[in-house]
Structures are given as structure tokens and as C-alpha cells.
Structure 1
Amino acid sequence: MKYMLLIYSNEESWAGLTAEQREGLARSHEELMHELTEQGMLVSAAGLADPITTRTVSVRGDTLTTTDGPYAEAKEHLAGFYLVECDDIDQAIDYAARMPDAKYLAVEVRPVMDSSGLEM
């Protein structure tokens, strides 16, 4: 079953990290991605560009609207993701807990739906 591990961050938590902590965070991600790849569990992973580059698109009737920034007015933003193939949600939660970002803000674990519906 596939799970999306969504990494959340905010400007204050990132700004509060020392250079050493940022390097440690990057190193931890490299180690985790290496482990998941070796185990054949990593489907995809990426960091996301700064929220200032985000555009939110909506269509109402025939009117297309785009706005700058993420849709939600919140301090937190989606910073990156891992798409992993796990045996169950508990295994996905274990990997999410090992992400260094979980110590600073949060990592959300979500089952991924296939074309026939929720893989449960």
C-alpha cells in the first residue's frame, strides 16, 4: 500500500535552525531516502519550492482565477513529500517519525488512493 508522507514547515522553525542543524536535517533525509531505496519502498521524494512561488488555481463557472501563495492562510506550508510503499499505516508512521522534520513541526501520513478508490 502506498502512503504519502507530507512534510510541513514554517518560516520561523526553519529560521530558528543553526547551520549545523540544517546540515543534520539534510543528512538525515539522505540516509532515510537511501534506506527506503535499498528496501524498495521509496516510490518518490522531493522538497518543494518556497511557498512564495506557489499559485493557487480555481475555476468557478467559466472564470479562471489564480492567486499567489498557498490556498490556506496558515503559518505552516507543505515543504516536501515522500511517497512510500509500506505494509501498513503503522510502518508508514514509523518512517514519518524518523524524519527530522517531525521534531520541528509535523509530518502527515496519508494513504494514497488508486483509480478504484482507497487502498484499504
Structure 2
Amino acid sequence: MKYVILIHSNPQPWGHPTGDYVAEVQALPKEEREKLDADFEKLLGELQERGELVGGEALGDPATSTLYRWKAGGPTSNDGPYAESKEHLAGFFKIDVESQERAEEIAARFAGPGETVELRPIMVFGDDGE
């Protein structure tokens, strides 16, 4: 079962890793920040060892995005950020796991201070279930 873990964040200024720019993380003692970083690296290592991590990428500043919409019979574009929100999509990880329960377990471990994590199944077209 393939899922995408979407990392939403509100860092100002924008940067990666997002935790370095989120007020909730910056307020933590240095030792706690270092433990968060170490725990995250450990999680990524575990996922790689188990063959569950398919890939992932950090995304650029939403202010550099362009939104395309269909309007008046054709596409139009607007400069970013694309959302009317303080939170923006900061990055994603693609995982391939045995069950929804395993995906939920992993996604919960991705959630950090000041961030919102979204777990979404990837649609598979033409899959007959085998």
C-alpha cells in the first residue's frame, strides 16, 4: 500500500529543515532539538532498512510557486503563495507499507512541534487487488 506523508509547516523565513524555522521548535532547549533531529534521522534509517521509504523531497518557498487555474476558457496563472493560509506544504515522503495501520504509525512519528502531517493514500489505477 502506497501513501504520501505531506509535511505542512509555517516557518518564517522559509527554510529546511522546517523545524529550524518553526517557533515551537526554536523555543525548545538545544538538547531537545538535537534529540528531535536524531529521532527523525533514526526514523528515516529504519524506513530505508525496511524498504518502506520510496522517496521524498523538501519543497521550496511557497512565495516562489505559481498557481494555474482554468478561467474564461483557458489557463491563467498567479504568483504564489498558492494558499490563503499560514501553513504551506513544506515537503513530502512516499512510503510503501503492508497496511494502513503501519502507514498511520509512521505518519504519527513524522509529526513534530509546529507542523501538521497529512497521510494520504496514493491511488492505484487498474489495480485488481493482487
Provide TM-score, normalisation by structure 1.
0.80
Paired with 1:9 and 1:97, the residues of 2 have a C-alpha distance of 15
Q: Deviations over 1:3-42 (max 9, x none)?
A: 1111111136834132946655444332222111110001
Extract unaligned runs of 5+ from structure 1: none
How many residues were matched structurally? 117
Higher Rg of the two aligned structures: 2
Q: CA deviation at 1:85?
A: 0.6
Q: CA deviation at 1:100?
A: 4.4
1:55 to 50, 66, 73: 66
Q: How does 1:14-29 map to 2 (within 5 A)?
A: 14-16=21-23, 17-18=25-26, 20=30, 24-29=35-40
2:125 to 86, 92, 115: 115
Provide TM-score, normalisation by structure 2.
0.74
Paired with 2:71 and 2:117, the residues of 1 have a C-alpha distance of 32
Question: What is aligned with 1:4?
Answer: 4
Contact 1:28–1:99 (Cα < 8 Å) also in 2 = no
Q: Deviations over 1:32-61 (max 9, x none)?
A: 221111100011111111111111112335
TM-aligned CA distance change 1:104 to 1:64, over 3 Å: same
Greater Cα offset, 15-24 or 73-82: 15-24
Greater Cα offset, 23-32 or 108-117: 23-32
Q: Which is strand-richer, 1 or 2?
A: 1
Between the aligned residues of both structures, percent identity stands at 38
Extract unaligned runs of 5+ from structure 2: 13-18
Paired with 1:73 and 1:23, the residues of 2 have a C-alpha distance of 33
Question: What is aligned with 2:15?
Answer: none
Matched, 1:80 2:96: no
TM-aligned CA distance change 1:11 to 1:24, over 3 Å: same
The residue type paired with residue 4 of structure 2 is M
Pairwise CA RMSD:
2.5
